[in-house]
Structure 1
Amino acid sequence: MQKWLLLASLITLTATSAFIYWPLDAEAEALQKVTPSPFLLEKVKTEEWMLIDVRSPQEYAEGHIPGAINMPHDKIDGYIDQLQDAKDKPIIIYCRSGNRANIAMKKLEQQEFMDVSHLEGDIMGWRESGLPINKM
């Protein structure tokens, strides 16, 4: 009886552990998110954090987060040398809805940028939060 109870406990523990940890693969863990906030603006203003808008130059000109640098996602490889000084600081990336930001994040992570995060909600979430937007 005790053997069956021990076996059942081990199966339950193993199944529970697999269920809890299964979705947390390395790729999912790498997709950190930062919430839109005035705190983010302050960190960017003091240059403690870098904020990168990976939308097109036209979209950037129509409205971007103050302090954001425009580096279109399809040209992000060309900016790697410029980003070397920021390799040790948090980098937050956004686009319109998230697709281009995820592409750019993966490229930076492949270049060993260790602290790359995604702005939750991207520019649309920022606007919905009522936070400031700069226009060119």
Structure 2
Amino acid sequence: MMNVLKSLVLCSLMGVLSVQATERSELAWQRVEQQQAILIDVRSQGEFDQGHLSQAHNVPHTVIAQQITAITKDKSQPIVVYCRSGNRSGYALQVLQAMGYQQVVNGGGLKEMLASKSH
């Protein structure tokens, strides 16, 4: 009985996370299409080389603070960050916000960004 309950809770949680992932990637595309947001892929160079969104800049999350001004110094410029799962882009979002960038959106993972783009 306990395993069934755990499975139901896990399935329910996965559904909620899936909806949240879809919503965040759709918000990201709105920013790109309506506000000309800059796309930044915060994965490693190797991951980026294996595939990325067109027009995305590759700035690994570990160096985002040092390299963001090479892309934009405008703290009001809309920016969308993404990675593989949304974790590194979440970190990059926090770093950029701490630096004063006001319009940063975590698009989540590359796969969810690609999936929501086709809708």
Measured against the shorter chain, the TM-score band is 0.5 to 0.7
Is the counterpart of residue 85 in structure 1 residue 85 in structure 2? no
What letter is aligned with 1:99?
A: N
1:63 aligned to which of 48, 51, 55 = 51
In terms of fraction of residues, the more helix-rich structure is 2
Is the counterpart of residue 73 in structure 1 residue 61 in structure 2? yes
User: Residue in 1 aligned with 2:24?
Assistant: 33
**Post-superposition offset of 1:124:** 1.6
Q: Which runs of 4+ in 1 moved over 4 A?
A: 36-44
Contact 2:41 2:59 in 1 (8 A): yes
Q: For 2:82 and 2:93, how far apart are their aligned partners in 1?
A: 9
- Paired residue secondary structure (2:24): strand
TM-score (norm: length of structure 2): 0.67
**Residue deviations 1:100-135 (CA, integer Å, cap 9, x gap):** 00111100000000000011x42021343475xxxx
- The higher radius of gyration belongs to 1
Q: What percent of counterpart residues are identical? A: 32
User: Residue in 2 aligned with 1:110?
Assistant: 98
**Post-superposition offset of 1:49:** 1.2
Is the counterpart of residue 125 in structure 1 residue 116 in structure 2? no
- Paired residue secondary structure (1:87): coil
RMSD: 2.6
What letter is aligned with 1:124?
A: K
Aligned residue pair count = 96
